[in-house]
Amino acid sequence: MRCFTTWRKSWFMMTLQQLKAHVLDHSAQVIVFQKDGLMVDSCHTLSGVKSWENKSLYDSISLLRSMQFAFSHIGNEEVIDIPCVDFVLEQRQGYYDFTFSLHPENPDLVVWLVKDQTRVYRYYAAIQQERNLLRLEKEYKERGQSA
């Protein structure tokens, strides 16, 4: 009980902004890169991404390489949504939602928001797997009956 009270107190000492930042730190990362792919900055909250520093992300990440055209033509208000990507963020294999938009203060830079949704999508994948297997089973059974 005492521990619980201490824990609660430590949370209550945070402002809501701090609390939000704390939660987001464990689920999201922002990476900024030039339109030619050169990584400029990262908040490193999910992964250190050290191997990408001062390099073109296009050389390391085929998904981004295949989107170069989109980045060079991205509109001021446009947000490119690429949800549910099975991806390895450095050593972290998982499911991520990606969004790309122009930097609000510098349109030469692209802001890549990486949201780790692994827990949610793994749950969804298990359900989808079960559903698909049931559909397959049903189809094969129907085919067997009609043959």
Residues that bind other proteins (CB under 8 A): 62-63, 65-70, 80-87, 95, 121, 124-125, 128-129, 132-133, 135-136, 139, 143
Q: How far apart are CA 95 and CA 116, in angstroms?
A: 6
CB of 26 to other proteins, least distance (A): 21
41 or 130: CB nearest other proteins: 130
CB of 110 to other proteins, least distance (A): 14
Shorter beta-carbon distance to other proteins: residue 43 or 94: 94
- Separation of CA 83 from chain center: 8
